[in-house]
Structure 1
């Protein structure tokens, strides 16, 4: 019995010591980004559309689409960064993959398309 516990202790020690550290991801894009659009028609109520991207440190994320207060669509996405260009690849074929850059000013932080159009603003 003593040999069994000694062997178990050695195996446990080797297993714990061989574990590798997961590199920490401190990319500035981590967090919640959103874009809100308010549509108003003459004589009718306003309708609000909100898109939300949640970037996490495992190079994955979640996309939400709200119509008014109701969540109408969501999907996962993968993201990567190369020389300041963020590539977003969606799991759904309905959404087009996108490349954006980050623009940080004193007023706000935003993700922009290459032509300067706003993709999303940090919440």
Structure 2
């Protein structure tokens, strides 16, 4: 009797594990996007600020800010897509949530704000 229950338990575990597959996400926004700005400070040289957004396939991501190649800030975010418009919701209240659109026709691909200005560029 114990062998029967053991066999049924193993079959049940295999059946359940095969039914819980996560669908693959092939959204074109997946990957790394960035924006780099440089400014010259009087007597102190050039300061380079780089922002980076990493979009993954489970509708989550990481936002990072670098100053002169040194990590200065990071937070996680959630993202969603509706009719070609992407909404980014940050996990930190210091960063304002944003809505962007993907421009695939341009090389390199860019994310634009509602007013058409460039938000980030694909790496």
Residue equivalent to 1:4:
2
Matches within 5 A, 1:45-64: 45-64=45-64
User: Which whole-Å CA distance do the structure 2 matches of 1:106 and 1:113 have between them?
Assistant: 15
Matches within 5 A, 1:31-70: 31-70=31-70
Shift >6 Å, 4+ stretches: none
Gaps of 5+ in 2: none
Tell me the matched-pair count.
Answer: 121
Residue equivalent to 2:117:
117
Deviation, 1:119, is: 0.8
Q: Deviations over 1:84-113 (max 9, x none)?
A: 100000010000000000001352101100
User: Structure 1 residue 73 and structure 2 residue 91: aligned?
Assistant: no
Deviation, 1:30, is: 0.5
Q: What SS does the corresponding residue of 2:41 show, helix, strand or coil?
A: coil
TM-score (norm 1): 0.91
User: Which whole-Å CA distance do the structure 1 matches of 2:84 and 2:69 have between them?
Assistant: 33
Residue equivalent to 2:97:
97
Higher mean displacement: 35-44 or 23-32: 35-44
Q: What SS does the corresponding residue of 1:48 show, helix, strand or coil?
A: strand
Higher mean displacement: 73-82 or 12-21: 12-21
